[in-house]
Each structure stands twice: as structure tokens, then as C-alpha cells.
Amino acid sequence: SQTIHQWPATLVQPVGSPLSLECTVEGTSNPNLYWYRQAAGRGLQLLFYSVGIGQISSEVPQNLSASRPQDRQFILSSKKLLLSDSGFYLCAWTWDSSTDTQYFGPGTRLTVL
Amino acid sequence: QKEVEQDPGPLSVPEGAIVSLNCTYSNSAFQYFMWYRQYSRKGPELLMYTYSSGNKEDGRFTAQVDKSSKYISLFIRDSQPSDSATYLCALRGEGFQKLVFGTGTRLLVSP
């Protein structure tokens, strides 16, 4: 069966510090991968998606970036965090592009102080 | 106008009640309709997936799509305290398009 992992689970970082969040998927190959941010009381905001190694599409211009160095690994990064980057970051995957039925990881709660 | 509207709740019901959760949408091109359940501080979990119109049943859960009214529903029969969570609807059109999520309805089922 397929599983998706995210780490760390919780992170507290000062403003201006760098960020690296990692997501890995097991039990599948060639998944589409997604990064979302969920702010309190708001819906899920798609940040990046990737259909293959090295292929990244950005949905929202901001100080975040994403990379996919391996088929089942997706990384979210920032060089300098802002207060507004606080939120719940979720990684998701799908293997069926026709339906785009997405399965989510456990999430990383980021607090920028 | 938002693409997807969902009442944030909270919706409070007693154990055993039938729960109705709803989303309205404005884009008639949506063809894929999903419901996710999200417990506090956890990732969303896919509950139901429906293509186009009609009903789909899975245990105590029934998903209903009315494309003429641009209205989708999730019914939960015999609700349990373990059903207490936030329920998100998600919609998509044909082709590779992003999922559009509702903001979620918080459900509280009291014993």
C-alpha cells in the first residue's frame, strides 16, 4: 500500500531563517506531487505541483520554492521566512491524473516568530 | 464570488443524528467532486469521490451531486462522536486542473 510521510511534524522558526520541509511517498512510482498551505479558517491553498523529477509548477508567487530531486521526494524551501509563512503545510500525491484524487500527508505545522 | 462556498459551522448534532454537509459552486465545468475529512492537526483524508452527477454510497456516508443546482452534499447516517471533524469539499474540471477546495465545515457530534 501507499504511504506518504512529512517531516518535521512541527517547526518553530525565527523570521529570516531558512526552511526545508520534506515529503516522501512510498509504494508508488511517478506520482504527481503537491504542496499546499492551510491557514486557520481558510481553505487549502495550492503552492506547487510536480508531474515528474525536476518539473515544478508554481501557483502562487512568494518567497517559497519547491524541488523534486527524486521520483518520490518533494521538498519545500525558503531562504528567508516571513511571519506570513506560518501555517499548516500539507503534501499530497496522486497517481491518477484523470481524476486527480489526491491523498494527503500528516502535515507540518510551521510557526514563524 | 468564490468558486466554492461552504458553511464553516460549527454544526452540532447529537449522536445518531443524520448529518447533511453541503457545498455550492459557481463553475459549471466542475466534473469531479470529492469529500475529505480532516481531524484537528491532521492531514485531510479522502472520504468520497464522485464523477459527474448522481449519488454514491459507502457505509454510513452518501455523496450527492446536483449539477443543475451546482450543489453537492455529504450525508452521514447514525453519526458518531468519532465523526467530529472538519469536512472539506473539493472540485475539479476535466483535464489536468487544480482541485478547488471549500473552506470546510466543522462538525461536532455529542454523545
Give the CA count within 13 Å in the CB-facing half-sphere of B30.
30
Residue A25: its chain B contacts at CB < 8 A?
Answer: none
Phi/psi at B81 (5° precision): -55, -30
For an interface test with A, the pick among B96, B97, B100, B106 (most A C-beta atoms closer than 10 Å) comes out as B96
How does residue A77 score in pLDDT terms, banded at 50, 70 and 90? very high
For an interface test with B, the pick among A46, A49, A101 (most B C-beta atoms closer than 10 Å) comes out as A101
How does residue A39 score in pLDDT terms, banded at 50, 70 and 90? confident
Nearest-CA residue of chain B relative to A33?
B98
Residues in chain B: 111
Residue type for position A100? D
How does residue A47 score in pLDDT terms, banded at 50, 70 and 90? very high
pLDDT beyond 90 at B52: no
pLDDT in tens, B77-102: 999 999 999 999 999 887 767 889 99
How does residue A29 score in pLDDT terms, banded at 50, 70 and 90? confident
**What pLDDT does A61 receive?**
64
**What pLDDT does B98 receive?**
82
pLDDT beyond 80 at A42: no
For an interface test with A, the pick among B2, B3, B42 (most A C-beta atoms closer than 10 Å) comes out as B42
pLDDT beyond 70 at A99: no
Residues in B 73-102 with any Cβ partner in A closer than 8 A: 88, 90, 92, 96-99, 101-102
pLDDT in tens, B2-25: 889 999 999 999 999 999 999 999
Cβ–Cβ under 8 Å, residues A20 and A107? no
pLDDT, mean over chain A: 91
Phi/psi at B69 (5° precision): -100, -5
By C-alpha distance, which of A108, A81, A89, A107 is closest to A13?
A: A81
Name the H helices within chain A. none
The helix (run of H) or strand (run of E) holding residue A65 is strand A64-70
pLDDT beyond 80 at B35: yes
**What pLDDT does B15 receive?**
98
**What pLDDT does B96 receive?**
65
Nearest-CA residue of chain B relative to A43?
B103
pLDDT, mean over chain B: 93
Phi/psi at A13 (5° precision): -130, 145
Residue B92: its chain A contacts at CB < 8 A?
Answer: 100
Question: Which residues are paired to B75 by β-bridges?
Answer: B20, B62
Q: Residue A104 is nearest to which of B4, B43, B96, comparing CB atoms?
A: B43
The total of other beta-carbon atoms located within 10 Å of residue B59's CB is 9
pLDDT beyond 90 at B103: yes
**What pLDDT does A83 receive?**
94
**Which comes out higher in pLDDT, residue A96 or A1?**
A1
CB contact under 8 A, A107 and B49: no
The region of weakest confidence among A89-98, B70-79, B81-90 is A89-98
